[in-house]
């Protein structure tokens, strides 16, 4: 008789159940990687990386590649546990110590409660129509909260929004390649990945470069939400877990807050290999490729238009200057297109940020702290979404703004999170899974690299900031 290896001393034991068959046609399962890339195409891709390119060219583009490849390995280890158990990585962490999930939720909330992720979109709207950033952002927060809490199946709605966003970004990129990105930018990209690759400190601060790497692709709590997204898509053991639905318009299903584990029989391991191959390809061809191509081409667009321009502000105002440069070099229509697609893309990212923060919080609250209470995870999600929206509205009404430096600090905080959960993923996927599917070999080495990489970046940045404050 098979005895589950998932730890049971903190949360209830998992149920033994066969892994479901992977479908023959997998097209309908593509999506979590694109959602991850689409939500991640936010301030990093539209502000930080283009700003870096405007200051030092493309000599640091290699940092984006390293950040994305590292995050691909992280995402796959986050997905490994969920594919095998139907539980999120945060639930897995909480099995070792009850409050691990809460630690990451609090860190994610501290990174995202300040509504800079929505004011960036609102600011780009003002480049097109004028108006008050604060009230536009408040309207956006209300639309986001209504959209996320009234959609019958929340993941399906989010996936459709992100698919539209990616289509818009692809449109912008195609037009940029045809009309705006010059030959010098293509040469600079190739050299930035090879002979000219460098760490440009100075003139740029190390904290800014760390933030760019941490936000290349996703970063911080967003990576952890890959568990939730693949589970709602029905991948692996997530097939047995009901999807998150609106408590107003959806159909709620009763379900255990903990997951399953399959016996490592010949049949189950064959199914596992099919799921694992698909999950790797899906993440590589969507999350990794879309993220790097977008960063590279948005950086090339900035290099082609504003590189070397005097007086560029280290703020979102940089996007206004870039749009005006596009109007001058290509035509008024392209500057408008740039701002329209930028505003819509950043709005979709804002929706994704509220979703993944609320998913992580509601999953941990229900699974660990409200397990025996008569409230569904759907209702907890509803409450957290509206709490985030109302806190954001209160911050905006109080008149606070978020300069780029706070985005940079948030990115540094994301790197610290990734340092800690890289360690926990090693423990989780070595100790909680059967021998044939536990992490090993080069994937284990990649997690060790992630620990060393994000740990070093975090420590060096803290030392640099401490020196500025006290020295």
Q: What is the pLDDT of residues 146-200, one digit of tens each?
A: 999 999 999 999 999 999 999 999 999 999 999 999 999 999 999 999 999 888 8
CB 328 within 8 A of CB 305: no
In a domain, 291, yes or no: yes
> What is the predicted pLDDT for the residue at 37?
87
- Sign for the CA dihedral angle at 2, 7, 8, 11 comes to negative
Instruction: Give me the number of domains the chain comprises.
Output: 1
> What is the predicted pLDDT for the residue at 411?
58
DSSP string, 347-404: HHHHHHHHHHHHHHHHHHIIIIISTTSS--HHHHHHHHHHHHHHHHHHHHHTT----H
> What is the predicted pLDDT for the residue at 400?
66
In a domain, 228, yes or no: yes
In a domain, 345, yes or no: yes
Q: Could you list the mean pLDDT of each consecutive 10-residue stretch along the chain, which spans 471 residues?
A: 75 89 82 87 82 92 93 95 94 93 90 84 92 93 95 91 92 93 95 90 77 79 92 92 82 71 93 95 93 94 88 78 91 92 92 94 92 88 95 86 56 78 95 92 96 84 67 58
pTM over 0.85, yes/no: yes
How many CB atoms are closer than 10 A to CB 417? 23
DSSP string, 150-215: HSSBHHHHHHHHHHHHHHHHHHHHHHHHHHT--HHHHHHHHHHTTTT----TTTS-HHHHHHHHHT
> What is the predicted pLDDT for the residue at 402?
55
pLDDT above 90 as % of the chain:
60
Q: What is the pLDDT of residues 69-106, one digit of tens each?
A: 999 999 999 999 999 999 999 999 999 999 999 999 98
> What is the predicted pLDDT for the residue at 287?
93
Query: Residue 260 pairs with which residues in a beta bridge?
Result: 15
> What is the predicted pLDDT for the residue at 351?
94
Domain span holding position 436: 15-470
Please give the DSSP secondary-structure letter assigned to residue 15. E
CATH number at residue 417: 1.20.1740.10
In a domain, 8, yes or no: no
- Sign for the CA dihedral angle at 160, 161, 162, 167 comes to positive
3-state secondary structure of 59: coil
> What is the predicted pLDDT for the residue at 398?
85
In a domain, 4, yes or no: no
In a domain, 3, yes or no: no
Task: Tell me the backbone φ, ψ of residue 148, rounded to 5 degrees.
Answer: -75, -20
In a domain, 232, yes or no: yes
Per DSSP bridges, beta strands 260-261 and 15-16 are parallel
In our burial notation (b when 16+ CB lie closer than 10 A, e otherwise), range 360-383 reads bbbbbbbbbebeeeeebbbbbbbb
In a domain, 311, yes or no: yes
Residue 250 CB contacts under 8 Å (≥ 6 apart), including other chains: 151, 152, 153, 154, 378
Can you read off the two tokens belonging to residue 443? 């994937």
């Amino acid at each position: 008789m098979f005895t589950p290896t998932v730890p049971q001393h903190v949360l209830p034991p998992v149920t033994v159940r066969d892994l479901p068959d992977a479908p023959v046609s997998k097209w309908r399962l593509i999506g979590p990687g694109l959602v991850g890339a689409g939500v991640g195409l936010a301030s990093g891709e539209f502000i930080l990386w283009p700003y870096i390119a405007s200051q030092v060219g493309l000599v640091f583009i290699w940092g984006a590649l390293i950040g994305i490849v590292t995050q691909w390995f992280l995402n796959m280890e986050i997905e490994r546990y969920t594919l095998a158990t139907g539980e999120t990585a945060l639930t897995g962490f909480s099995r070792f110590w009850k409050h691990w999930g809460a630690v990451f939720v609090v860190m994610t909330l501290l990174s995202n409660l300040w509504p800079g992720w929505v004011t960036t979109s609102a600011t780009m709207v003002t480049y097109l129509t004028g108006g008050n950033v604060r009230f536009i952002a408040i309207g956006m927060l209300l639309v986001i909260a209504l959209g996320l809490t009234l959609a019958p199946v929340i993941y399906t709605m989010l996936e459709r929004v992100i698919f539209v966003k990616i289509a818009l970004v692809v449109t912008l990129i195609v037009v940029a390649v045809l009309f705006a990105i010059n030959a010098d930018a293509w040469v600079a990209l190739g050299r930035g990945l090879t002979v000219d690759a460098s760490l440009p400190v100075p003139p740029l601060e190390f904290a800014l470069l760390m933030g760019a790497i941490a936000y290349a692709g996703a970063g911080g709590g967003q990576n952890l939400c890959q568990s939730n997204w693949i589970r709602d898509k029905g991948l692996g053991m997530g097939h047995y877990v009901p999807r998150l639905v609106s408590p107003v318009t959806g159909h709620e299903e009763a379900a255990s807050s903990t997951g399953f584990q399959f016996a490592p029989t010949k049949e189950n391991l064959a199914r596992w290999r099919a799921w694992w191959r698909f999950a790797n390809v899906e993440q590589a061809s969507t999350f990794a490729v879309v993220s790097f191509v977008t960063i590279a081409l948005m950086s090339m667009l900035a290099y082609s238009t504003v590189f070397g321009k005097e007086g560029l502000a280290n703020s979102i105002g940089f996007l206004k200057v870039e749009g005006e440069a596009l109007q001058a070099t290509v035509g008024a229509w392209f500057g408008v297109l740039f701002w329209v697609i930028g505003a819509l893309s950043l709005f979709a990212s804002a929706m994704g940020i509220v979703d993944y923060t609320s998913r992580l919080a509601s999953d941990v609250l229900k699974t660990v702290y409200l397990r025996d209470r008569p409230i569904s995870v759907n209702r907890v999600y509803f409450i957290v979404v509206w709490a985030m929206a109302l806190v954001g509205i209160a911050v905006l009404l109080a008149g606070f703004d978020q300069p780029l430096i706070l985005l940079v600090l948030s990115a540094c905080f994301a790197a610290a999170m990734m340092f800690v959960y890289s360690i926990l993923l090693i423990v989780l996927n070595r100790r909680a899974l059967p021998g044939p599917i536990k992490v090993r070999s080069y994937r284990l080495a990649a997690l060790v690299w992630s620990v060393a990489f994000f740990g070093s970046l975090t420590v060096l940045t803290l030392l640099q900031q401490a020196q500025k404050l006290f020295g």
